[in-house]
């Protein structure tokens, strides 16, 4: 059984202090959003705690481990292996931290790119990652911090738009899952 305190202790040693603080921020923020939207707050907290559990690895280690564990590596991930911390994180959450809930694992797997028709837990972790109290320098932070508690889908859409704007400078490195996710949420809000 995954034990939250043991996981925290492990992460505190594995991640640098800044990344550990970010991780706690995402865990608490995810838990708050879960309370707001009727999702299990403990699942959300656990997903938040582990979402960046592979973030300390450098690019060559991320690639090496992903190949070793036979994870699918997209063209964008090959060019920009830091993206792989999400997929590898989901793998490690399952095999090293003993998280078996597939919804939590998917929330970790898709926390960087998002994906079309995300589950409630996926949206919560995705948004919490962007808005947690230790995060600064992201566009529209204040707006998104408020919006997240009013309209979660809209917050997902706004974060994706800002991310896509930022990535437009380097179109080759946009992952196909990011692209599909953006197209999906764009269509959702153009209809309404
Ligand atoms: O791990 P964190 O820094 O907490 O946050 P994250 O895992 O959400 O990563 C955010 C970064 O990932 C942000 O700078 C935008 C970038 N990103 C998101 N989708 C893509 C992407 N980068 C590339 N190259 N391609 C993508 O599709
Ligand atoms: Fe991340
Ligand atoms: Fe994110
Ligand atoms: Fe993060």
Ligand 1 centroid–CA 21 distance in Å is: 18
What are all long-range contacts of 28-37, with beta carbons under 8 Å and residues at least 24 apart?
28/132, 29/128, 29/131, 29/132, 29/133, 30/124, 30/125, 30/128, 33/124, 33/127, 33/128, 33/148, 33/149, 33/152, 34/121, 34/124, 36/149, 37/120, 37/124, 37/152
Mean pLDDT of 117-146: 96
Q: What is the predicted ipTM?
A: 0.98
Residue 191's pLDDT band (boundaries 50, 70, 90)?
Answer: low
Q: Which residue among 47, 107, 123, 167 has the greatest number of ligand 1 atoms within 8 angstroms of its CB, and so is best to mutate? A: 167
The model's pTM is 0.97
Closest atom of ligand 1 to CA, residue 178 = 27
Distance CA 16, CA 18 (A): 6
Per-residue pLDDT at 134:
94
CATH tag, 4-191: 1.10.3210.10
Instruction: For the chain, count helices (H), then strands (E).
Output: 11, 0
The DSSP-derived string for 32-46 is HHHHHHT--HHHHHH
pLDDT of res. 106: 98
Instruction: Tell me what the mean pLDDT of segment 161-171 comes to.
Output: 91
Average pLDDT, stretch 39-61? Answer: 98
Instruction: Report the alpha-carbon distance of residue 61 to residue 168 in Å, rounded.
Output: 27
pLDDT of residue 192: 58
| End-to-end Cα spacing for the chain | 43
37 CA to centre of ligand 2 in angstroms: 22
């Amino acid at each position: 059984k995954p034990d939250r305190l043991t996981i925290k202790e492990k992460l505190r040693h594995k991640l640098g202090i800044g990344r550990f603080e970010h991780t706690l921020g995402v865990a608490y923020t995810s838990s708050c959003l879960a309370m707001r939207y009727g999702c299990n707050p403990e699942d959300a907290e656990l997903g938040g705690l582990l979402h960046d559990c592979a973030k300390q690895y450098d690019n060559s280690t991320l690639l090496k481990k992903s190949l070793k564990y036979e994870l699918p590596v997209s063209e964008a991930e090959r060019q920009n292996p830091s993206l792989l911390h999400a997929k590898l994180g989901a793998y490690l959450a399952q095999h090293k931290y003993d998280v078996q809930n597939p919804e939590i694992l998917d929330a970790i797997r898709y926390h960087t790119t998002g994906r079309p028709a995300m589950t409630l837990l996926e949206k919560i972790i995705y948004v919490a990652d962007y808005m947690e109290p230790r995060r600064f320098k992201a566009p529209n932070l204040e707006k998104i911090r408020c919006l997240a508690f009013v309209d979660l889908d809209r917050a997902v859409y706004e974060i994706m738009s800002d991310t896509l704007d930022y990535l437009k400078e380097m179109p080759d490195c946009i992952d196909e899952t990011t692209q599909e996710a953006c197209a999906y949420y764009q269509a959702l809000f153009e209809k309404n």
